[in-house]
Amino acid sequence: MSATAESIAAGQAIYKRRRAGCHGADAEGGPPKEEFLKPAPNLVDDTWDHGSTDGEIFWVIKNGIPPELVMEGWDDRLSETDMWNVVNFLRNLAKRKQEK
């Protein structure tokens, strides 16, 4: 899906509503939900633990992170278009942060 201004804006709205509580409003990571868990990872840096291509990021959003599913899959709550919009938003946000 193309990273149009509309797609990025839609992805931002979805991210803020659904994921900012875990990964932080700026997508730079967040505290663990439970004390025995790792903090939620930074989504705008150069390090991706579960794949860094757009397709791999989409897959993680859709399916979660097995086997523990510390991050649940969003397949039953978001459309594929919404998931691609989130990917586009995260890519755009990372690009803007790198330009600073």
Residue range(s) defining the domain that contains residue 9: 5-14+45-99
The end-to-end CA distance of the chain, in Å, is 26
Residue 34 resides in a domain: no
- Give this prediction's pTM: 0.90
Greatest alpha-carbon pair distance for the chain in Å reads: 39
Q: What is the pLDDT of residue 54?
A: 95
Q: pLDDT tens digit string along 43-81?
A: 999 888 888 899 999 999 999 998 877 888 999 999 999
Measured CA distances, 84 to 17, 44, 95 (Å): 16, 16, 16
Residue 72 lies in a domain: yes
3-state secondary structure of 13: helix
Number of domains in the chain: 1
66: which residues sit within 8 A by CB, 6+ positions away? none
Whether 53 is in a domain gets the answer yes
Angle 35-40-44 from CA coordinates, rounded to 5°:
160
Rounded to 5°, the CA angle 31-62-72 comes to: 40
